[in-house]
Chains A and B, each alone.
Chain A
């Protein structure tokens, strides 16, 4: 009884906690397929009209296009630079490694409001407000720490002796990089790219300052709508963002799965 009591209490608490954690996600998904014209739960009848509104309205289409474009820019920049940096961290003997890493993680620690205002401050005179490339670059700084954290742990699984072997067998440094390091690190790079894309796709505060009217992203339009008057289409847009998150998580799981099947060695060693 003494052992069963706390164990049962824990199970009940965990059940309740999981319910509370998932409820807001499920609610949005249900609202999105409802027919109601204002925030009301549960919806009285089902319909896909808000998805039709979302995908049919040119203003929402523009926001979607901006979001995707900005996230693509941020994803490419953060993944490429983050991969090089992570490789340097894992392989080089440089001093002050920990200090440098903690500096590079700062964009996710420093309040986004401050970063966003500073980025907005320099963007004004340079006429960069609303420039998708600039917003993507700014998002890349926030995505970079995520790429680093993911790749640092995955590159640790790449055996340095494989690189030494390739080098001693006559491969060039570039050859080692492209034919040994890249293929071995590829699943990690893919995961990192997925989460970098997601970080930018979901980012609100930097976009809020930098988007202007030209390049409003989906989160910015949701924010505006929640501030002024909640349009019912918001539920469908939110459900779409959740679907993108779900897709990223599924793809990441597939990548991890493929990695454990192909090379059980390093995974087991971790």
Chain B
């Protein structure tokens, strides 16, 4: 470390101001304004608290919270299981194989969520490709009801969120030295033992940050469950949208939004402590 840093040369700090202003005026400002105004409209602080309590303990919200939680946990677990081998493959292969698999992950990743959801609606419909294939192979003799069920939501969400996990895991696995596993093998460890005792622990921070990101995105998910779920699969983000668009209940929307926002920020805080945010989403 030489002390020849020219004074104030590195000082480009002021350049951050325009971006901060944009976020303050168009992002944070509206959020605060929305919360303050819609809660204030409910009356005195005591009335606000009473209303908030009534909203949070209402049957619709409790059911939606539990649905959101379960679907998000299940989606995160399924995405993790499905992604780990793909990321492992990417980390251990080069050349055309690597390029091809990466292509298959990246193209859906950058395709509009509404397009991906639409496609799954076509695939999972009563006469959709999935049912046609199941009937033809004789696995079922009646078409399955997949669309507008929890299964449909799970399939759609796993598909949409999988690339986030693959790219996060891959970023973590890329830095694992393959000679460590070889060393374990050379010292007599079996393939399974070497994997579970050497590779898996080394990839653990990728598993944790990937799971956090997918869970965070899941609890706020809207498009896919709104289009692919049935009447019983209402997630909290859908309830928030409905209370604004259908019942014009801004106060209720604000309470539910605060709840969802708080959960998101707590999880994001954990993510912040555990990982390098610059590597978010495998960047």
Instruction: Report the separation of the CA atoms of residues A100 and B105 in the bound assembly, to the nearest whole angstrom.
Output: 30
Contacting pair B30 A109 (CB below 8 A): no
Contacting pair B23 A241 (CB below 8 A): no
Let me know if B31 is at the binding interface, CB within 8 A: yes
Partner of B112, one of A141, A202, A227: A202
Contacting pair B240 A14 (CB below 8 A): no
Let me know if B278 is at the binding interface, CB within 8 A: yes
**Chain B 1-31: CB-based contact to A (< 8 A → 1; otherwise 0):** 0000010011111111011101100110111
Partner of A121, one of B19, B37, B125, B281: B37
Let me know if A45 is at the binding interface, CB within 8 A: no
Residue of A with least CB distance to B115: A238
Given contacts A25-B107, A100-B16, A118-B31, contact A2 B190 (CB under 8 A): yes
Within 8 A of B (CB), among A118-162: 118-122, 137-138, 140-141, 144, 148-150, 152-153, 160
Instruction: Report the separation of the CA atoms of residues A85 and B22 in the bound assembly, to the nearest whole angstrom.
Output: 11
Count of interface residues, chain B, beta-carbon cutoff 8 Å: 84
**Secondary structure dominating the interface of B:** helix
Number of A-B contacts (CB under 8 A): 250
Q: Which residues of B contact A256 (CB under 8 A)?
A: none
Partner of A234, one of B118, B223, B237, B261: B118
List 14 extra interface pairs beyond A14-B86, A88-B12, CB under 8 A. Answer: A20-B159, A21-B159, A98-B272, A109-B216, A109-B264, A111-B221, A113-B240, A118-B33, A202-B114, A226-B118, A226-B121, A227-B227, A241-B111, A245-B112
Interface, chain A (partner B; CB < 8 A): 2-3, 6, 10, 13-14, 17-18, 20-25, 27-28, 31, 39-41, 77, 80-82, 84-85, 87-89, 91-94, 98, 100-107, 109-115, 117-122, 137-138, 140-141, 144, 148-150, 152-153, 160, 164, 167, 195, 198, 201-202, 204-205, 209, 219, 222-223, 226-227, 230, 234, 238, 241-242, 245-246, 248-249
A-B contact pairs, 28 of them (CB 8 A): A14-B86, A14-B101, A24-B116, A24-B159, A28-B118, A88-B13, A92-B15, A93-B13, A94-B16, A100-B16, A102-B268, A109-B264, A111-B221, A113-B240, A113-B241, A115-B31, A117-B240, A121-B33, A121-B37, A122-B29, A141-B23, A141-B26, A198-B110, A202-B111, A202-B112, A202-B115, A226-B118, A245-B110
